[in-house]
């Protein structure tokens, strides 16, 4: 799978929509708290990370969850992890 910023973003969108189909990405501010913007509780967020692992093969340790507060931060984190893989 290609790991361009666009494919990473699409994997995030697809992963979120698998868990929360009503998520509105058109209204999402990528610099604001991701879970708050998409109304995801901690269980939903964990399921999104599991979906991302399945789609991208990226292991996200629990210690890194705090680094994933915004969509921009999540995209940057995934890009860096995929680049170093």
The pLDDT score that the predictor gives to residue 17 is: 96
In the chain, the N- to C-terminal Cα span, in Å, equals 13
The pLDDT score that the predictor gives to residue 21 is: 94
- Please check whether residue 40 is in contact with residue 20, taking contact to mean a CB–CB distance below 8 angstroms: yes
**Per-residue pLDDT tens for 8-23?**
999 999 999 999 999 9
**Per-residue pLDDT tens for 22-59?**
998 888 999 999 899 999 999 999 999 999 999 999 99
The pLDDT score that the predictor gives to residue 2 is: 64
Closest by Cα among 35, 44, 38 to 22: 38
Q: What's the pTM value of the predicted model, to 2 decimals?
A: 0.91
The pLDDT score that the predictor gives to residue 85 is: 81
In this structure, what are the phi and psi dihedrals at residue 33, rounded to the nearest 5 degrees? -55, 120
- Please check whether residue 31 is in contact with residue 73, taking contact to mean a CB–CB distance below 8 angstroms: no
Q: Which domains does the chain have, with CATH numbers?
A: 5-84 (1.10.1200.10)
In this structure, what are the phi and psi dihedrals at residue 24, rounded to the nearest 5 degrees? -105, 95
């Amino acid at each position: 799978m290609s790991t361009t910023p666009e494919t990473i973003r699409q994997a995030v969108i697809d992963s979120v929509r698998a868990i929360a189909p009503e998520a509105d990405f058109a209204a999402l501010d990528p610099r604001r708290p991701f879970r708050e913007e998409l109304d995801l509780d901690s269980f939903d967020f964990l399921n999104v990370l599991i979906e991302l692992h399945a789609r991208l093969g990226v292991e996200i340790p629990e210690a890194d969850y705090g680094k994933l507060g915004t969509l921009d931060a999540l995209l940057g984190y995934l890009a860096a992890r995929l680049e170093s893989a």
